[in-house]
Amino acid sequence: ELVSTFEQKQGYWTPVVLEMTDLKKQHKTRMIMTEISFDNNFSDEEFTVRKLKQ
């Protein structure tokens, strides 16, 4: 995995471009983060095993 670009978003240094390479298939996938949000005040109930499996 390669992080090629960091930007400061809402006071946090954040990877905004990530690139992964499948070495066996010689295939690359690039993810570009266009919308990033921090400190969203999620409740603990949203992170139960049951909820995360949904």
Q: Is residue 49 part of a domain?
A: no
pLDDT for 1 beyond 70: no
| Total number of domains constituting the chain | 1
Specify if 15 maps to a domain.
yes
- 27-53 in b/e form (b: 16+ CB < 10 A) is eeeeeeeeeeeeeeeeeeeeeeeeeee
In a domain, 51, yes or no: no
pLDDT in tens, 5-42: 899 999 999 999 999 898 899 899 999 999 999 989 99
Q: Specify if 52 maps to a domain.
A: no
pTM over 0.75: no
**Structural domain contains residue 11:** yes
Residue 5 lies in a domain: yes
**Residue 29: which domain range?**
1-35
Residue 51 DSSP class = H
Is residue 22 one of the residues assigned to a domain? Answer: yes
For residue 43, is it within any domain?
Answer: no
